[in-house]
């Protein structure tokens, strides 16, 4: 389709954006049709977020080269132009939600634009307008519900409602399903179809490639800041999309590892733990063994207790009420992460931005932070040694950054995750726990992390990996423990695992097939 036709609501013409020493976008040109769902695809660092920030007014006119046409005219957003973009009908829903948990759904949707009469907020009108908006787009939420009482899926719906309450004509969704359950994802897809039927144009960004084929009409692929292709979704398949993204053929999604399980290094025996804030039991009698050189996958639905289990073992969450943890056959009590590190246990957390990184600090400081004892002498730090060793890990994990002194918040999600992994590898763990290590990162970065996991297992490191993606947990694990309502519902050898078996255990469904082995209390070594 030629640029300039009336069917286009957006056109990017030769858009180039440079930062200090880096060209984030280079001569980007493509168009988006009115009323379509347009997928924007690419590895972390490909330029997707930069382009959307131009469109949403984060980077105003004059900070980039080229032209953005919106509804046939040049879009020129000035300084402090995020409000101007909203007035133009361009809204963005970020991966990290921007809502106030203590307020109601209605208050969040109309925050800053409340209906006012005689200097007082008209609450009846606010909630009536909210109810009408929610019903119009089939959003199943109560206007007066307190947001903090809702699940992540309904918070996501509220964020979308907030965007369309300003009569958004273009809605940008950045990783909208990263924290949603399968049912919530299906509901989101229904909402997007409803928005499309109302004439709203959606730009959809995700690392879950199957979602592009489920919902989008067109897909544009960016790589290294350039447009590689922009074509109808029906003309593409998964393999073609991956090849466009990474610029090379990836013959297998999960690299083959050479894992040779050795002796038992960790035993968890009938472990019970409660949330220390609420005293609610979150781990209910879990038992398993972990061997050196193996990858033990942990699967389960959201809320099944996976994260609660590993963070309790790491000493940073639950209060253990019963059971035992043994390391090399000896009982241990881990009260905090410092003790965990002393025992040779490291944890890459689920939420890297909140629990894994100090975003305003440099890449260097983030890598070295838990390991400063290696570089300190008396009251000073050997900066040369700190830099040399941090650079070694950054190089081995292929962290893409201009240098190690840039703030870690400036890196892409995949490179931020590599920084988190680097700092824990520097601590030289015997047991490495990875909680959803590839969440929110692209297919190329995922592959690099998979290869690293195989290399670490080959070195004899015992790995526990939680994953919300069944294909990932099946593709990377030697054995899979499935959690259900805080319990270990069963342990399956990877060779015998199927999605059906895992889901049956994860949902508490009775499984008749023999290969599924119920989890039993671990036995102490030597007994």
Q: What is the pLDDT of residue 477?
A: 95
Answer yes or no: are the C-beta atoms of 202 and 232 closer than 8 Å: no
Q: What is the pLDDT of residue 517?
A: 54
* CA separation for the pair 376, 467 (Å, rounded): 36
Rounded mean pLDDT, 327-338:
93
* Domain boundary assignment for the chain: 1-89+171-250, 96-168, 252-344+430-527, 355-428
Domains 1-89+171-250 and 252-344+430-527 share a fold: yes
pLDDT tens-place string over residues 85-115: 888 999 888 766 778 989 999 999 999 889 9
Residue % of the chain over a pLDDT of 70: 92
Residue % of the chain over a pLDDT of 90: 46
Is the pLDDT score of 43 beyond 70? yes
Rounded mean pLDDT, 30-46:
90
What's the token pair of residue 61? 């006119």
| Contacting residues for 123 by C-beta, under 8 A, at least 6 apart | none
Answer yes or no: are the C-beta atoms of 80 and 160 closer than 8 Å: no
Rounded mean pLDDT, 487-496:
92
Lowest-confidence pick of 204-208, 216-220, 410-414, 423-427: 410-414
Answer yes or no: are the C-beta atoms of 118 and 59 closer than 8 Å: no
Cα three-residue angle 108-114-118, rounded to 5 degrees: 155
| Contacting residues for 527 by C-beta, under 8 A, at least 6 apart | none
- What sign for the dihedral angle of Cα 70, 73, 74, 80? negative
* CA separation for the pair 503, 487 (Å, rounded): 14
Partners of residue 18 on adjacent β-strands: 23
Q: What is the pLDDT of residue 204?
A: 95
Answer yes or no: are the C-beta atoms of 125 and 205 closer than 8 Å: no
Mean pLDDT (the chain, rounded):
86
Q: What is the pLDDT of residue 353?
A: 79
For 167, counting Cβ atoms within 10 Å of its Cβ (0-12 exposed, 13-18 middle, 19+ buried), the class is exposed
pLDDT tens-place string over residues 473-483: 999 999 999 99
pLDDT tens-place string over residues 215-253: 999 999 998 899 999 999 999 988 888 888 877 655 567
Is the pLDDT score of 328 beyond 90? yes
- What sign for the dihedral angle of Cα 127, 133, 136, 141? negative
Residue 278: band (very low, low, confident or very high) from pLDDT cuts 50, 70, 90: confident
Q: Which of 27-31, 132-136, 174-178, 394-398 has the highest mean pLDDT?
A: 27-31
Q: What is the pLDDT of residue 79?
A: 67
The class that CATH gives domain 1-89+171-250 is alpha beta
Residue 179: band (very low, low, confident or very high) from pLDDT cuts 50, 70, 90: low
Q: What is the pLDDT of residue 117?
A: 92
Q: What is the pLDDT of residue 205?
A: 92
* CA separation for the pair 473, 299 (Å, rounded): 7
* CA separation for the pair 261, 258 (Å, rounded): 10
Q: 């023999």: which residue's tokens?
A: 514
Q: What is the pLDDT of residue 520?
A: 55
- Read off the DSSP letter of residue 256: P
Cα three-residue angle 250-254-256, rounded to 5 degrees: 105
Is the pLDDT score of 501 beyond 50? yes
Strands (E), 243-334: 264-274, 281-291, 295-299, 319-327, 330-332
Is the pLDDT score of 524 beyond 70? no
Rounded mean pLDDT, 266-292:
92
Rounded mean pLDDT, 334-348:
92
Answer yes or no: are the C-beta atoms of 487 and 284 closer than 8 Å: yes
Partners of residue 286 on adjacent β-strands: 271
Residue 3: band (very low, low, confident or very high) from pLDDT cuts 50, 70, 90: very low
What's the token pair of residue 11? 């056109």
Q: What is the pLDDT of residue 131?
A: 94
Answer yes or no: are the C-beta atoms of 350 and 439 closer than 8 Å: yes
* CA separation for the pair 244, 443 (Å, rounded): 11
Q: Rounded to the nearest 5°, which phi and psi values hold at 163?
A: -70, -45
Q: What is the pLDDT of residue 95?
A: 66
Q: What is the pLDDT of residue 74?
A: 92
Lowest-confidence pick of 94-108, 398-412, 457-471, 503-517: 503-517
Q: What is the pLDDT of residue 406?
A: 92
252-344+430-527 CATH fold: Rossmann fold (3.40.50)
Residue 523: band (very low, low, confident or very high) from pLDDT cuts 50, 70, 90: very low
Better pLDDT: 441 or 317:
317
What's the token pair of residue 229? 């292709």
Give the 3-state secondary structure of 436-469: CCCCCCCHHHHHHHHHHHHHHHHCCCEEEEECCC
Q: What is the pLDDT of residue 249?
A: 59
């Amino acid at each position: 389709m030629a640029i300039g036709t009336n069917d286009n609501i957006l056109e990017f013409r030769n858009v180039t954006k440079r930062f200090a020493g880096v060209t984030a976008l280079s001569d980007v040109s493509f168009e988006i049709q009115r009323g379509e769902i347009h997928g924007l695809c690419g590895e972390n660092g490909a330029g997707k977020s930069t382009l959307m920030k131009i469109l949403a007014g984060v980077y105003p006119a004059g900070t980039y080269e080229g032209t953005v046409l919106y509804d046939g005219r040049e879009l020129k957003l000035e300084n402090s132009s995020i409000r101007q973009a909203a007035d133009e009908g361009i809204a963005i829903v970020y991966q990290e939600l921007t809502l106030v948990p203590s307020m109601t759904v209605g208050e969040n949707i109309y925050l800053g634009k409340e209906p006012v009469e005689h200097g007082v907020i008209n609450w009846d009108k606010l909630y009536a307008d909210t109810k009408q908006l929610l019903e119009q787009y089939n959003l199943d939420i109560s206007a007066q519900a307190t947001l903090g009482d809702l699940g992540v899926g309904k918070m996501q719906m509220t964020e979308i409602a907030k965007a369309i309450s300003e009569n958004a004509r273009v809605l940008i969704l950045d990783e909208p399903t990263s924290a949603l359950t399968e049912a919530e994802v299906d509901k989101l897809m229904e909402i997007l179809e409803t928005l499309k039927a109302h004439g709203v144009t959606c730009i959809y960004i995700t690392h879950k490639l199957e979602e592009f084929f489920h919902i989008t009409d067109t897909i544009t692929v960016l790589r290294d800041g350039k447009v590689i292709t922009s074509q109808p979704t029906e003309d593409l398949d998964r393999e073609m999309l991956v090849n466009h993204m990474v610029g090379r053929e990836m013959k297998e999604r999960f690299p083959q590892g050479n894992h040779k399980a050795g002796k038992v290094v960790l035993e968890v025996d009938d472990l019970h733990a409660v949330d220390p804030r609420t005293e609610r039991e979150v781990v209910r009698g879990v038992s398993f063994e972990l061997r050196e050189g193996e990858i033990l996958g942990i699967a389960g639905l959201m809320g099944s207790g996976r994260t609660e289990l590993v963070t309790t073992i790491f000493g940073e969450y639950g209060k253990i009420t019963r059971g035992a943890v043994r390391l090399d056959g000896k009982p241990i009590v881990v009260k905090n992460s410092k003790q965990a590190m002393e025992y040779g246990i490291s944890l890459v957390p689920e939420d890297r931005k909140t629990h894994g990184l100090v975003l305003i600090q440099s890449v260097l400081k983030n890598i070295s932070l838990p390991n400063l004892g290696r570089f300190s002498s008396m009251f000073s730090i050997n900066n040369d040694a700190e830099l040399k060793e941090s650079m070694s890990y950054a190089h081995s994990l292929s962290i893409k950054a201009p240098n190690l002194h840039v703030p870690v918040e400036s890196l892409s999600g995949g490179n931020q995750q590599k920084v988190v992994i680097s700092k824990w590898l520097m601590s030289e763990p015997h047991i490495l726990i990875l909680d959803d290590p590839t969440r929110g990162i692209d297919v190329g970065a995922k592959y690099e992390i998979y290869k690293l996991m195989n290399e670490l297992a080959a070195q004899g490191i015992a790995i526990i990996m939680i994953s919300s993606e069944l294909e990932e947990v099946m593709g990377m694990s030697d054995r899979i423990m499935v959690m259900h309502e805080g319990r270990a519902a069963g342990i399956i050898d990877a060779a015998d695992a199927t999605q059906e078996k895992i889901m049956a255990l994860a949902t508490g469904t009775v499984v008749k097939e023999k290969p599924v082995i119920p989890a039993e209390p671990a036995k102490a070594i030597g007994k």
